[in-house]
């Protein structure tokens, strides 16, 4: 199949054929392998999020991706767009046609990422330590503050299973790749402790081909090493509440992959990330108090030029029921940021960000639910806009296992310019204004238990004061240069069936995204009405999974549409379709479980690029095992 013949219709056809091929298999047997899915869930994000599209990656999927990066998990299991500068290289996320800096990333309640860049690198966030991944699509600034214009990614590490637990993961793969992880935990009635570590590396010397398919040799100087550890503890303080301490450390040493055709001189970058949280929570029958302190240290060492950032975060909230119909939450947060870098005039910059918010959840009937979020934030040197949101959901029909719900939301968002935007030498612009957005969406959820689901959302977004770095001749400098409008559709659909001992599941995530600049900067500006760079119109992934007793197989197709490489749309990167296959087998002996797997990625050996002239691997393989031990408390001496 030639690359130019691939389009989003092919992905739907493949998924439909897989569905028909497996339609003879329907429900049965109690002992099954839990099948993977992305579904609407009730959790912290949905507590005051009526009307919003909130999805969660199933925990079994996360375990299956334990050897891979968070970026690979998201690109294969959600409708979000992931931009990768190569295998193991910088990876950023985009929701609804916005930029990487328009997505907020939270780790155990703390907003993380490089504050001087205003974004997170999803290739250096260790998936080994994450138990829950949730996504809020659309603006979330009314609850979570700066940056959440396009969406929010929420990462949580949950409590371990009761008793004594040991987990060992080891896999090896193509291009000298190896991934190792080890965790110990013990949980009893009054508390738990968990400790673990991981080490991943790859020579990353895959075959490189030109855009015409000509063999150019093997990739050089793109090897990487990642290592880190986790320490978590929780304790029940009697009736006073619970105290949790969580620490996560990760070190990355990678050579930055050169572009195709350039000289292969070694360019090295080392990242250090230390995230720590101390949280106290007190639950009563009709109220909940949360207090949290966070410390975040992030370092980028680029060829000996070191940038350090330190963040101290204090936040608290009080959630209480006014009546059986109305719940309220009031809260505040404060973040002190300090950055040391040779790239600023004085070698240092500070910022203070604060915010207060009120959230309300109203449920006057069993069918109608409303949420209101009001937030006023403050930031050093800026007048931050007031950001409200209003969401509604209505259960239109409920019969037996079927539920049909309508939902909608209107919200305002904002993003304060980053420290690099303001203070970078040369080119920083201290006169930048905060970006502001308005998001409106309407959708529905149709479900039949876990056997069938459709979640569909259509949205419209307006962003003003969009910050764009422009060439000034001698250097680049940022300006509030664009007014952007976006609209699109998000679809999550799935079907689960079984027959006899065979279980099958089919699911699809799809996004149509249109995001364009609506305002000319000058008479030579040819970007008006054009799609923003690296925003595909079509983005999708389709999955088919079969399980029989302890055996399981997963076939995945991931499609990314054509992306323009500049805002004038003069050049583009072609669309591509990737096919991946995973087969696994589990064995259980008393308190021990062993899972062995084989993976084949990019089965069609597609020659593709996520970013122009950044090569990506062809067909590749991996194999591994995961060993789990769990001895319940009633069996411990």
Which tokens go with 577? 């379709």
Phi, psi for 291 (deg, rounded to 5): -130, 135
Name the burial class of residue 529, with classes exposed (0-12), middle (13-18) and buried (19+) by CB atoms within 10 angstroms of its CB: exposed
Higher confidence at residue 107 or residue 634?
Answer: 107
3-state SS string over 209-255?
A: ECCCCCEEEECCCCCEEEEEEEEEEEEECHHHCEEEEEEEEEEEEEE
SS3 300: strand
Q: Which two tokens stand for residue 320?
A: 């209480």
CA distance 573 to 564: 6
What is the pLDDT, as a whole number, of residue 14?
45
Give the number of other CB atoms < 10 A from CB of residue 350.
10
Rounded to 10 degrees, what is the CA torsion of 104, 105, 107, 112? Answer: -80
Residue 7 has pLDDT above 70, yes or no: no
Per-residue pLDDT at 443 exceeds 90: yes
Q: Walk me through the domains of the chain, giving residue ranges and CATH numbers.
A: 3-635 (2.40.170.20)
Please tell me whether residue 562 adopts helix, strand or coil conformation.
coil
- DSSP state letter for 204: -
User: Is 32 a residue whose pLDDT tops 60?
Assistant: no
**Percent of the chain scoring above 70 in pLDDT:** 92
DSSP per position, 616-633? ---SEEEEEEEEEEEE-G
pLDDT(422) > 80 = yes
Per residue in 300-351, pLDDT tens? 999 999 999 999 999 999 999 999 999 999 999 999 999 999 999 999 999 9
Q: Cβ distance 379 to 353 under 8 Å?
A: yes
Q: What is the pLDDT of residue 27?
A: 34
Q: What is the pLDDT of residues 156-174, one digit of tens each?
A: 998 898 999 999 999 999 9
d(CA 450, CA 507): 12
Tokens at 21, concatenated: 């091929």
> What would the two tokens of residue 355 be?
């915010």
Among candidates 19, 53, 56, 80, which has minimal Cα distance to 494? 19
**DSSP state at residue 121:** -
* Cross-strand bridge partners of residue 188: 191
Alpha carbon of residue 290 to chain centroid: 25
The pLDDT value given to residue 22: 43
Cα Rg of the chain, angstroms: 24
Segment 239-260 mean pLDDT: 95
Of 565, 560, 481, give the one whose Cα is nearest residue 530.
565
pLDDT at 17: 43
């Amino acid at each position: 199949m030639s690359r130019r013949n691939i389009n989003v219709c092919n992905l739907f056809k493949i998924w439909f054929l897989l569905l028909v091929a497996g339609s003879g298999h329907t429900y049965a047997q109690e002992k099954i392998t839990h099948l993977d899915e992305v579904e609407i869930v009730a959790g912290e994000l949905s507590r005051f999020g009526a009307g919003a599209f909130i999805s969660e990656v199933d925990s079994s999927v996360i375990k299956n991706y334990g050897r891979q990066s968070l970026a690979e998990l998201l690109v294969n299991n959600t409708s979000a767009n992931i931009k990768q500068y190569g295998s193991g290289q910088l990876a950023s996320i985009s929701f609804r046609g916005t930029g990487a800096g328009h997505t907020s990333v939270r780790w155990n309640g703390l907003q993380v990422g490089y504050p001087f860049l205003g974004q997170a690198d999803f290739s250096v966030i260790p998936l080994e330590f994450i138990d829950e991944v949730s996504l809020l699509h659309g603006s979330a600034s009314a609850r979570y503050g700066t940056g959440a214009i396009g969406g929010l990614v929420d990462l949580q590490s949950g409590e371990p299973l009761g008793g004594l637990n040991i987990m060992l993961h080891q896999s090896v793969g193509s291009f000298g790749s190896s991934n190792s992880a080890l965790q110990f935990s013990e949980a009893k009635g009054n508390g738990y402790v968990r400790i673990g570590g991981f080490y991943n590396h790859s020579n990353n010397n895959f075959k490189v081909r030109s855009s015409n398919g000509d063999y150019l040799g093997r990739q050089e100087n793109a090897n990487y090493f990642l290592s880190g550890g986790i320490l978590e503890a929780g304790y029940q303080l009697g009736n006073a509440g619970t105290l949790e301490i969580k620490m996560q450390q990760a070190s990355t040493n990678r050579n930055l992959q050169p572009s195709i055709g350039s000289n292969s001189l070694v360019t090295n970058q080392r990242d250090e990330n230390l995230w720590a949280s101390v949280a106290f929570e007190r639950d009563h029958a009709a109220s909940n108090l949360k207090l949290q302190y966070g410390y975040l240290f992030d370092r980028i060492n680029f060829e000996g030029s070191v940038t350090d950032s330190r963040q101290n975060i204090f936040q608290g909230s009080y959630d209480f029921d006014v009546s059986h119909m109305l719940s309220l939450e009031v809260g505040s947060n404060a973040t002190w940021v300090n950055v040391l870098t040779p790239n600023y005039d004085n070698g240092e910059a500070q910022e203070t960000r604060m915010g207060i918010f009120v959230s309300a959840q109203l449920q006057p009937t069993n069918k109608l639910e409303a949420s209101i979020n009001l937030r006023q934030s403050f930031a050093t040197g800026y007048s931050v806009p007031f950001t409200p949101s209003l969401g509604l959901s209505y259960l239109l029909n409920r019969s037996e296992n079927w539920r049909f719900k309508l939902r909608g939301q209107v919200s305002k968002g904002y993003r304060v310019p980053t420290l690099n935007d303001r203070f970078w030498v040369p080119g920083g612009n201290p006169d930048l204004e905060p970006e502001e957005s308005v998001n409106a969406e309407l959708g529905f959820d149709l479900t039949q238990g876990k056997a069938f689901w459709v979640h569909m959302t259509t949205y419209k977004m307006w962003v003003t004061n969009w910050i764009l770095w422009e060439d000034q001749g001698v250097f680049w400098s940022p300006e509030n240069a664009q007014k952007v409008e976006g609209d699109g559709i998000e679809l999550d659909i799935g079907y689960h069936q079984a027959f006899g001992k065979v279980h099958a599941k089919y699911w699809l995530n799809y996004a149509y995204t249109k995001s364009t600049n609506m305002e000319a900067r000058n008479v030579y500006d040819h970007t008006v009405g054009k799609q923003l760079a690296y925003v595909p119109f079509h983005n999708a992934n389709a999955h088919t999974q079969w399980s029989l007793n302890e055996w399981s197989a997963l076939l995945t197709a991931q499609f990314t549409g054509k992306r323009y490489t500049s805002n004038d749309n003069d050049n583009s990167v072609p669309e591509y379709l990737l096919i991946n296959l995973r087969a696994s087998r589990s064995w259980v002996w008393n308190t021990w479980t062993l899972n062995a797997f084989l993976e084949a990625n990019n089965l069609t050996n597609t020659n593709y690029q996520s970013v122009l002239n950044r090569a990506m691997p062809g067909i590749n393989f991996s194999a591994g095992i995961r060993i789990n031990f769990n001895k319940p408390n009633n069996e411990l001496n």
